């Protein structure tokens, strides 16, 4: 449908104002970036070993019915090497909690956040299964940050349960523990790399602006070397600081050998997008350039193809799910979004 001429005019005015504001912010930050952020440029054409990876992603939706909340999750893991093997999962069940038939109770437990935790467990278990198809110690690629996959934001909703029609019921407390156990397994047996396209983290302290925002400014205004393919000097987070960020006890992090986190930023294509790479595998400190070169082989547009593929394959169409529920005779609540 066409837009009004008035809106076209407003868009042009906005574009100019937005560019001017962004340029002013870049000029303000430029000298700080150069002083605080060290960037190593890499030649992505340089020879490196083949990149054998295992990647996974999932998606989910919640359907509100007159008898409660029904969730749908599907996920896929792929082992990418000389050939590609897939493992898929589809799961349906309910989210159960005290006061589950009360709108205020629903708001209190934030069902989407609880289901996101369950979806993370699904992804990690898929990766654990897919690792067996790898002929050597592979890179495991996870879409998201290590912090988001480890942080415990669920202390007040431990008694909420995910009840799967296939896999039984799990409380949030059990899911939090399961997530740590599977992360520990992957960290021991693979080189597990978390890749986040979006993050509000500001590890380099550039006037409290998110690191990825700063790197996007550098790309937009072609600030050398930060707009080139390469990586930042890693940040190493030790147990005490990590415990504070993750809201997980130091003793538990040490027990699972997740008590040191490496964080860096990479750009695999000059002028392309940057992403945050984080890992509990401390061995990557000595091999970050090699990791970047290997990832570049499977990321011609700047983001690893196995992660893009797993994201596309796992995507759920919420409308199709609602129509399927309706055909099955489930009475849906219409006209209201699931409360965050």
User: CA distances (Å), 21 to each of 98, 218, 302, 308, in order?
Assistant: 48, 15, 27, 32
Position of tokens 């072609």?
Answer: 222
Give the whole-angstrom CA distance, residue 5 versus residue 239: 57
| Per-residue model confidence (pLDDT) at position 330 | 79
Backbone angles phi, psi at 276, to 5 degrees: -90, 135
- Domain 53-322 falls in which CATH fold? archaeoglobus fulgidus dsm 4304 fold (3.30.2170)
Q: Enumerate residue ranges in the chain where pLDDT < 50.
A: 335-340
| Per-residue model confidence (pLDDT) at position 104 | 53
As given in the structure block, the two tokens for residue 92 are: 């349906």
Q: The dihedral of CA 268, 277, 60, 72: what is its sign?
A: positive
Residue-by-residue DSSP string for 211-266: HHHHHHHHHHTT-TTTTSSEEEPPEEE-HHHHHHHHT--HHHHHHTT---EEEEEE
- Biggest CA–CA distance in the chain, Å, is 63
What's the residue count for the chain? 340
Give the whole-angstrom CA distance, residue 186 versus residue 279: 11
Model pTM? 0.91
Give the whole-angstrom CA distance, residue 198 versus residue 317: 23
| Per-residue model confidence (pLDDT) at position 170 | 95
As given in the structure block, the two tokens for residue 241 are: 């600081």
User: CA distances (Å), 310 to each of 4, 31, 46, 179, in order?
Assistant: 39, 39, 27, 20
CA atoms within 13 A on the CB side of 190: 29
* Predicted confidence (pLDDT) per residue in 39-66, tens digit: 999 998 877 677 789 999 999 999 888 8
| Per-residue model confidence (pLDDT) at position 340 | 39
**Per-domain residue ranges of the chain:** 53-322
Selection from 120, 136, 242 nearest residue 189 by Cα: 136
* Predicted confidence (pLDDT) per residue in 295-316, tens digit: 999 999 999 999 999 999 999 9
- Residue 189 has a CB neighbour count (10 Å cut-off) of 15
């Amino acid at each position: 449908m066409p837009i009004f001429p008035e809106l076209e005019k407003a868009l042009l005015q906005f574009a100019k104002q937005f560019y001017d504001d962004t340029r002013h912010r870049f000029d303000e930050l430029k000298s700080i970036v150069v002083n605080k952020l060290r960037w190593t440029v890499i030649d992505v054409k340089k020879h490196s070993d083949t990149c054998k990876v295992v990647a996974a992603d999932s998606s989910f939706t919640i359907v509100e019915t007159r008898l409660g909340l029904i969730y749908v999750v599907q996920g896929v893991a792929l082992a990418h090497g000389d050939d590609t093997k897939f493992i898929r999962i589809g799961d349906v069940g309910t989210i159960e909690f005290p006061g589950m038939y009360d709108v205020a109770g629903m708001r209190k437990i934030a069902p989407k956040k609880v289901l996101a935790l369950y979806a993370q467990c699904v992804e990690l278990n898929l990766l654990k299964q897919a690792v067996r198809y790898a002929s050597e110690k592979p890179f495991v690629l996870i879409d998201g940050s290590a912090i988001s996959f480890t942080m415990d934001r669920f202390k007040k909703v431990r008694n909420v349960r995910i009840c799967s029609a296939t896999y039984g019921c799990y409380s949030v407390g059990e899911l939090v523990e399961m997530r740590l156990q599977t992360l520990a397994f992957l960290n021991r047996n693979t080189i597990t790399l978390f890749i986040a396209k979006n993050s509000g983290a500001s590890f380099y302290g550039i006037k409290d602006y998110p690191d990825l925002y700063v790197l996007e400014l550098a790309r937009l205004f072609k600030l050398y070397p930060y707009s080139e393919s390469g990586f930042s000097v890693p940040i190493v987070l030790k147990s005490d600081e990590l415990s504070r960020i993750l809201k997980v006890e130091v003793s538990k992090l040490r027990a699972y050998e997740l008590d040191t986190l490496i964080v860096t930023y990479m750009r695999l294509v000059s002028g392309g997008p940057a992403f945050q790479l984080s890992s509990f595998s401390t061995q990557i400190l000595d091999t970050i350039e090699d990791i970047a070169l290997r990832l570049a082989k499977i990321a011609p547009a700047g983001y690893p193809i196995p992660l893009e593929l797993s994201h596309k394959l796992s995507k759920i169409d919420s409308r199709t799910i609602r129509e399927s529920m309706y055909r099955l005779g489930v009475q849906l609540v219409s006209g209201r979004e699931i409360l965050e």
